[in-house]
């Protein structure tokens, strides 16, 4: 099974989103292919979108800021929506 994990935290180092994704990764069986992307830069979108289009499962971790997701993650999701 192909699993894609998206880290939507804007922090560069030591963020809780990455911590939780690493904890989830420990629970996933070893015979699965896992790709993790940190979506903090527009240049990273194409590879992540390509992986999402062929994955079996998608996990997205992100911080909530005043009950909303970070703007760069919204932009990434809109880019995903436009890709067919």
Mean pLDDT of 39-66: 92
Both tokens of 62, joined, read 């992100």
Residue % of the chain over a pLDDT of 70: 99
Report the alpha-carbon distance of residue 5 to residue 24 in Å, rounded: 10
pLDDT band, very low/low/confident/very high, at 84 (cuts 50, 70, 90) = low
Q: Where are the alpha helices (DSSP H) in 1-84?
A: 16-27, 45-53, 71-82
Half-sphere exposure of 34 (CA within 13 A, CB side): 16
What is the reported pTM?
0.88
Query: Is domain 2-82 in CATH 3.40.50.360, yes or no?
Result: yes
Q: Is the dihedral of CA 66, 67, 70, 75 positive or negative?
A: negative
3-state DSSP assignment of residue 37: strand
The pLDDT score that the predictor gives to residue 65 is 81
């Amino acid at each position: 099974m192909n699993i894609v994990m998206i880290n939507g935290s804007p922090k560069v180092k030591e963020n809780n989103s990455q911590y939780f994704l690493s904890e989830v990764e420990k629970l996933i069986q070893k015979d699965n292919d896992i790709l993790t992307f940190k979506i903090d830069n527009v240049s990273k979108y194409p590879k992540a979108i390509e992986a999402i289009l062929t994955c079996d499962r998608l996990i997205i971790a992100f911080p909530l800021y005043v009950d909303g997701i970070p703007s760069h993650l919204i932009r990434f999701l809109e880019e995903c929506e436009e890709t067919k």
